[in-house]
Structure 1
Amino acid sequence: MYQRFVWASRAVPTAWINDGFGERSSSSNKQRSVSMDTDMDYERPNVETIKCVVVGDNAVGKTRLICARACNATLTQYQLLATHVPTVWAIDQYRVCQEVLERSRDVVDEVSVSLRLWDTFGDHHKDRRFAYGRSDVVVLCFSIANPNSLNHVKTMWAQEIKHFCPRTPVILVGCQLDLRYADLEAVNKARRPLARPIKRGDILPPERGREVAKELGIPYYETSVFDQFGIKDVFDNAIRAALISRRHLQFWKSHLKKVQKPLLQAPFLPPKAPPPVIKIPESGAATVNDAGDLLDNPLCADVLFVLQDQKQIFAHKIYLATSSSKFYDLFLMENEESPNSVDRCSKKEKPSKDLLMRTLSLDTEEDTDVASIKNSSANLRISRSDDTLLTTDFNEEDCICLSSWSKGFLGMHQEVMINSLSNRTCSVTVVRMDSSIQYRPFKTVLRFLYTGQLDENEKGLMRVAQIAETLEVFDLRMMVENITNKEAFMNQEITKAFHVRKSNRIKECLSKATFSDVTFKLDDGSINAHKPLLMCSCEWMAAMFGGSFVESSNSEIILPSVSKSSMQAVLDYLYTKQLSFSSEMDPLEIIALANRICLPHLVALTEQHAVQALTKASVNGVDVDQEVLTYLELAQFHNAHQLAAWCLHHVCTNYNSVCSKFRKDIKSKSAENQEYFESHRWPPVWYLKEEDHYQRVKKEREKEDNALYKYRSKRKWCFWNSSSAAFA
């Protein structure tokens, strides 16, 4: 917290009291001791008391600068700009505090100094003129973000200072240097609501302040309280200016002979901007369709369960096989050419063609369970507009008898169906269940296999447990038992274990192409995949396979300009919600494909991987400048904005080296990128100009000092020679 203190009495210059920003001292002994200490500064030999008056327009940073020197107070940039505390009186910043008094003492060029800082109004000149009395040096401030404050230096302040203290040395100070490289948008948000917004065109270059200082014949310095830059330079050189002026009037003070004229200030090199952080959305790949919804809406279904009460349930092999070992073995059995464990069904056991046609009809109105049939009929009518299936021929010889294989199953065969939208045929596995498998509890079991969840309020849990026992879904049976025993909290661990096993089986099916129902034809090969899993993980895939498109019924999808490695990485992500990256994969190819099929989370993950790889290579001494330039505009084209921002930052912070090696590549970039390079390059152009000017002026001053030293040495030699001759 900054503290400011007002003179208690103009007649007593050594007593100060708190003006309300800090605690008042109630100890008269303390005030007396400090007052005595102050008087001793005037009486102590070889200790020079300097009165420094700080003037300038309102809100240019005078009080912040004084507090940074007197109280060592530092604030963040946004705290500095959020609130402006105007000065109420011509005040001395020192209070009855030993710490502040100790900071007022300094040694400059081997001269002990007691510095007295005075803050003033930007207006109310009647109150301000009292501060000029008996001043030793005046620090004239302006803000580099306010051109009017610099104009007032010439039109008002220089004339006022010349009027009230014509012989007092003056130093010009440009405050708020940090605004020259700050994020002005964030700065304006942090300022007061009614404050004038700072524009980039308002920021003054260093040469503007230096020109005004040259016109007035005074030194020029720049400061930043936020960066703690230039504060000591300003006040040390203000002390030097005051001591030199005092040396001319009090030439008998020998300890002032070593005081130098105000020194040059080295330019401020702004810090490098930190690299942008790649932000990953909290959630993984968004689930477009819940697996349970996919069970109710049989898009891309490849399994049809026919129950004894002539009800039917469409399902998907990949969900059932990865969730249940029973179904995994069942569907693998279908792929065997000559199964040994089952026998062919006799013709008497086979259902008639009319019965199957009636069972697979989309408009069935038979009602053993009216509510269930209405629900099923509604779902199928929905599928009519998307992926309607109509039964065609049924080959009775291909029916596999399952009654001897496991309880609950009667038979399985392949049925050829027709998509009414594209008139293309597709194959569906029809599985007939026996009378022990009832519609509602069996639907609950299938929903568990899809989602891994069980509703505690589900009716008929005992029947569900019986079917789970028959189908060897032991996780579900344990969950029903926990609910019955009022220990449903234990089901969370069962669900976690279920999903882990299912994820591992999905990875296996992807690697071995088991139960795949679609093949992606790519530039350098093909990859088998599973439509249901893709539809639940990607909106683009859901629209392609579930909408009125040719791809919805095709088993082969051609994706031009896509490599096999990139497609494999995308499929791994869609199946496992994780990015598996190998050295063969190109991040830009994955970003292009992920952007193409609308996967922003995958784009962010790939951006993060690319940035980590580039950073690691750069730390290890590998030159990545050419690769960064290649990434830049391709990342912008494919909406990888975070990677593009990192590339821009890398080029800007290494602009000199990059430009020296790849000048043609820099010039070939878009106009927007080149403009960004110029405005954000490091070191900035203004610093390079200031550094050149500083080195040039430094050499000139060194020459002047050497010439002056030689002149004085020569005069001294001549004086001694003449004295020796006179003595002889």
Structure 2
Amino acid sequence: MDIDMDYERPNVETIKCVVVGDNAVGKTRLICARACNTTLTQYQLLATHVPTVWAIDQYRVCQEVLERSRDVVDEVSVSLRLWDTFGDHHKDRRFAYGRSDVVVLCFSIANPNSLNHVKTMWYQEIKHFCPRTPVILVGCQLDLRYADLEAVNRARRPLARPIKRGDILPPERGREVAKELGIPYYETSVFDQFGIKDVFDNAIRAALISRRHLQFWKSHLKKVQKPLLQAPFLPPKAPPPVIKIPECPVPSMNEAGYLLDSPLCADVMFVLQEQDCIFAHKIYLATSSSKFYDLFLMECEESPNLDETQCNKENTNKDVLTSHLETNSDSDEASLKSPDVKFPPESSDSLNTLEPESGETNSAARSLASWGKGFVSVNKEMQVNPVSKRTCPVTVVKMDSSVQAGPFKTVLQFLYTGQLDENEKDLTRLAQIAEILEVFDLRMMVENIMNKEAFMNQEITKAFHVRKANRIKECLCKGTFSDVTFKLDDGSIKAHKPLLICSCEWMSAMFGGSFIESSKSEVVLPNINKTSMQAVLDYLYTKQLSSSQELDTLELIALANRFCLPHLIALAEQHAVQELTKASMSGIAIDGEVLSYLELAQFHNANQLAAWCLHYICTNYNSVCSKFRKEIKAKSSDNQEYFERHRWPPVWYLKEEDHYQRVKKEREKEDVALNKHHSKRKWCFWNSSAVVA
């Protein structure tokens, strides 16, 4: 469509609008937003700046641009033609200024120099080339006033001058310059699509009013208003920070396998053929295998008077055995009292209690032999731990000669980790031992490998870990097979050292190092309550946060920070935010609670919760401050500075809103007075006409 067609249309006013200003202030982006309806993200707008001039030929070659140029302002049909210009001061722009109807003079609110050039260079140039043309002053890039400047600077090109907080101009600076020059002032943001229509509609009004003075016979221009006031832009509320939960630090196969290879706090010793000895942990075996669970529970019931043994007192498995174990009491007493027992034994004297004397019957061996294949006998002894070199009570289990050390160690490795190496060589013997010990998951995995269907073992491992987690949680609740008791301010809780060592570096250092707690069955933890400690143990055992209603989230965060558990801190932060949000949505006031959370969360490294509290206080600043002014003033200087910088609505908006309402009332008074004046003139005119008649 030809550009001249609009000039030929009746009652269509064609307006030439020239846009000028410094480089990189947003002139071309503003023109494209009006002429082409372009919408870009903030970082796309700021990432790079390529000096460009929007081509006026777009009206001739692009139907969409031509259609968008047409508008109706104050009942006047117009066709707006936008002319872009270079921002270099030394360029010759006289061709662009020729026959212009209005000039839009732009500066960036993030560049004070561009505003200074408005007075010192641009306004003088405009008045030199087109002295009677109206001018509109526009502050661009309004969104930088409330944007995250660090993110903006990262998105800009590497050599670009970084935008500083002190560079951001308040609205009154632009308004003062506009008042000094006697021209209207508007602000725009292409990113927020704010002010674009205000700028160009009022530029059209300024051009039409100027044209009305020169072409007074055009009656359709009588209703054109002078440029209107622009309501201030209220920035949107920043979205609340999302609580990010880091990846759960699940103990890996290597960690659990390392605990088997280096048996800290071991409480089980398996004696195999040729007196090979393997140390292990009841809690790992009992929660992975029902057979071992029954064995160790039976052993606990048979030795309830041993102070060193921590076992469950419930008789939940009485029907498992047909008879109780009977051990030689003299031999047991001697073994428990002897401090000279060493590992590994150089002779078989330490195992005499396991071997039946000639001519005598060993009821224990008979009981285990009739109870399960592969087991010979079980009894309690004092043994030297091969890692800590400390003497401690150990459950000694003698295995049948058919159970060989290599495959049996692989079975134990599976019970610890739930995984099986596909390159295992002796799969047949391993399957036999798994069958004897009733480890059916392992038996299925061996069969899958032999059938070249090892990919199915992943599902078996998942199911294995689910069952293991449930059994571990049950053992925590009942204290079954526990080997340590935590003494707290309001009670005590039984726990299991091996699980704690694998789940928490703090616990690993305490129980696996040279601290005295590593050899104690009772550990005193001051200033800790039972509910919080129970929640920490639940997490260490299951990697989940317990949802107890009595749980104090801040106390849990403090305890998690004390034990160096960042993942638990994140879970507690998420729980606290969910509870606060739920209470707020149900109409419960949470302002005071959020204020109390803030600095405690910062002190205990709950940075995500602290950020959420800061966001809540800032976005509800007026209501919070009206109720808790003293508490706000009592906060740290850093927090108060953050409140002032990020409060919503921002201070500059409140000032602009007051100014807008005041000027609006003044203009309304002027309009009322002007209407009265026009009414009076009309009355005088008709009155004088009547007298003449």
TM-score (norm 1): 0.86
- The aligned residue for residue 650 of structure 2 is 684
1:263: which partner in 2? 228
Residues 486 and 494, structure 2, Cα contact 8 Å, conserved in 1: yes
Look up the match of 1:404.
367
User: Could you tell me whether the CA contact under 8 Å between 1:305 and 1:431 is conserved in 2?
Assistant: yes
1:158 aligns with 2:130: no
Q: Distance in 1 between matches of 2:267 and 2:149?
A: 59
Paired residues for 1:134-173 under 5 Å: 134-173=99-138
Q: Alpha-carbon deviation of 1:115? A: 1.2
1:80 aligns with 2:45: yes
Asked if residue 645 in structure 1 is aligned to residue 608 in structure 2, the reply is no
Query: Which has the higher mean CA deviation after the structures are superposed, 528-537 or 609-618?
Result: 609-618
Decide whether the 8 Å contact of 2:12 with 2:79 is kept in 1.
yes
CA contact (8 A) 1:441 1:467 kept: yes
Of residues 113, 124, 129, the one that matches 2:94 is 129
Q: Aligned match of 2:174 in 209, 216, 232?
A: 209
Q: Give the number of equivalent residue pairs.
A: 667
Question: Which residue in 2 is equivalent to 1:511?
Answer: 477
SS in 2 for 1:51: strand
Aligned-residue RMSD, C-alpha: 2.9
- For residue 447 of structure 1, report the CA deviation from its aligned partner: 1.5
In 2, Cα distance between the equivalents of 1:62 and 1:548? 70
Greater displacement, 517-526 / 412-421: 412-421
Partner AA of 2:342 in structure 1: S
Answering whether residue 414 of structure 2 is matched by residue 454 of structure 1, we say: no
Q: 2:34 aligns with which of 65, 69, 72?
A: 69
**Match for residue 711 of structure 1 among 658, 662, 677:** 677
Per-residue CA deviation, residues 618-644 of structure 1 (Å, 9 max, x unaligned), is 122221111111111111111111111
1:307 aligned residue (267, 272, 282): 272
Query: Is the CA contact 1:66–1:93 (under 8 Å) kept in the aligned structure 2?
Result: no
Match for residue 627 of structure 1?
Answer: 593
Task: Name the SS for the 2:279 alignment partner.
Answer: strand
SS at match of 1:290: helix
Distance 1:43 1:179 in 2: 43
Q: Mapping of 1:313-712 within 5 angstroms?
A: 313-337=278-302, 341-345=323-327, 361-362=342-343, 401-406=364-369, 407-417=373-383, 426-712=392-678
Distance 1:105 1:360, change over 3 A: same
Matching residue of 2:209: 244
Which stretch has the larger CA shift, 449-458 or 645-654?
Answer: 449-458
CA-to-aligned-CA distance 1:336-395 (integer Å, 9 cap, x gap): 2588614524699x79989x99996336679x9xxxxxxxxxxxxxxxxxxxxxx99999
Offset from partner CA, 1:192-216 (integer Å, 9 cap, x none): 2221111111010000000000110
Name the aligned partner's letter for residue 581 of structure 2.
Answer: T
Q: Which residue of 1 aligns with 2:193?
A: 228
Q: Please say if 1:278 is aligned against 2:243.
A: yes
* Residues 645 and 285 of structure 1: CA distance in aligned 2, closer, same or farther (over 3 Å): farther
Change (3 A) 1:342 1:152: same
Q: Secondary structure in 2 aligned to 1:402?
A: helix
Contact 2:105 2:137 in 1 (8 A): yes
Q: Report the alpha carbon displacement of residue 98 of structure 1 after superposing the two structures with TM.
A: 2.2
2:263 is aligned with 1:295: no
The one-character-per-residue Cα deviations of 1:429-474 (angstroms, maximum 9, x if unpaired) are 1222232222222222222221222223323333323322322222
User: Contact (CA 8 Å) 1:288, 1:535: kept in 2 or not?
Assistant: no
- Identity fraction in percent: 81
- Alpha-carbon contact 1:417-1:427 (below 8 Å) kept: yes
Instruction: Single out whichever of 449-458 and 247-256 deviates more from structure 2.
Output: 449-458
Q: Per the alignment, in what secondary structure is the counterpart of residue 95 of structure 1?
A: helix
**1:642–1:285 Cα change, 3 Å:** farther
Matched with 1:20 is none
Q: How far does residue 479 in structure 1 lie from its aligned partner after superposition?
A: 2.7
What letter corresponds to residue 691 of structure 2 in structure 1? A
| Structure 2 residue corresponding to 1:179, chosen from 144, 161, 174 | 144
**Conserved? CA contact 1:591–1:606, under 8 Å:** yes
Indicate yes or no: 2:76 matched with 1:95. Answer: no
Deviates more, 1:121-130 or 1:296-305: 121-130
Identify if the C-alpha distance between structure 1 residues 109 and 620 changes in structure 2 by more than 3 Å, giving closer, same or farther. Answer: same
CA distance in 2, matches of 1:288, 1:563: 33
Distance in 2, Cα, partners of 1:115 & 1:460: 86
Cα distance, 1:71 vs structure 2: 1.1
> Shift of residue 423 of structure 1?
10
2:316 aligns to what? none
Is the CA contact 1:607–1:642 (under 8 Å) kept in the aligned structure 2? yes
Q: Distance in 2 between matches of 1:86 and 1:470?
A: 81
Residues 480-513 of structure 1 show CA distances to partners (whole Å, capped at 9, x for unaligned) of 3333343333333333332222222112111111
User: Following TM superposition, by how much is the alpha carbon of 1:558 offset from its aligned partner in structure 2, in angstroms?
Assistant: 1.3
Given the superposition, is the C-alpha separation of residues 317 and 343 from structure 1 closer, same or farther in structure 2, using an over 3 Å criterion? Answer: closer
Q: Partner of 1:266: helix, strand, or coil?
A: coil
SS at match of 2:186: strand
AA in 1 matched with 2:140: C
* Partner SS state of residue 150, structure 1: helix
CA distance in 1, matches of 2:328, 2:485: 36
- Residue identity in the other structure for 2:204: I
| Residue 445 to residue 136, structure 1, CA distance change in 2 (3 Å) | same
Residues 31-84 of structure 1: per-residue CA shift (max 9 Å, x gap): xxx22xx33433333221111111111111111111111111111111111232
Checking the alignment, whether the CA contact within 8 Å between 2:138 and 2:188 is kept in structure 1 is: yes
Please give the alpha-carbon distance, in whole angstroms, between the structure 2 residues aligned to 1:88 and 1:609.
53
8 A Cα contact 2:342 2:384, kept in partner: no
Aligned partner of 1:239: which letter? Answer: I
CA 1:295–1:443: 2 relative to 1, 3 Å? same
What is the distance in 2 between the residues matched to 1:606 and 1:590? 7
Q: Distance in 1 between matches of 2:638 and 2:254?
A: 40
Q: Which amino acid in the other structure matches residue 711 of structure 1?
A: H
Cα distance between partner residues in 2 of 1:346 and 1:584: 49
The answer on whether the counterparts of 1:312 and 1:360 sit within 8 Å (CA) in structure 2 is no
Query: 2: CA distance between counterparts of 1:509 and 1:157?
Result: 80
**Residues 681, 603 of structure 1: alpha-carbon distance in 2 compared, 3 angstrom cutoff:** same
Unaligned runs of 5+ in 2: 304-320, 357-361
Pick from 93, 104, 111: which aligns with 2:76?
A: 111
**Counterpart amino acid of residue 43 in structure 2:** Y
Give ranges in structure 1 of 5+ residues lacking alignment. 1-33, 369-390
AA partner of residue 525 (structure 1): G
TM-score (norm 2): 0.91
**Contact 2:54 2:83 (C-alpha < 8 Å) held by counterparts:** no
1: CA distance, partners of 2:474 / 2:212: 90
Report SS of the residue matched to 1:171. Answer: strand
Judging changes above 3 Å, is the alpha-carbon distance between structure 1 residues 418 and 458 closer, same or farther for their aligned structure 2 residues?
closer
How far did 1:287 drift?
A: 4.8
C-alpha deviation, 1:253, in angstroms: 1.6
The AA in structure 2 aligned to 1:545 is F
Q: 1:154 offset after TM fit, Å?
A: 0.5
Q: Give the stretch that moved more between structures: 433-442 or 595-604.
A: 433-442
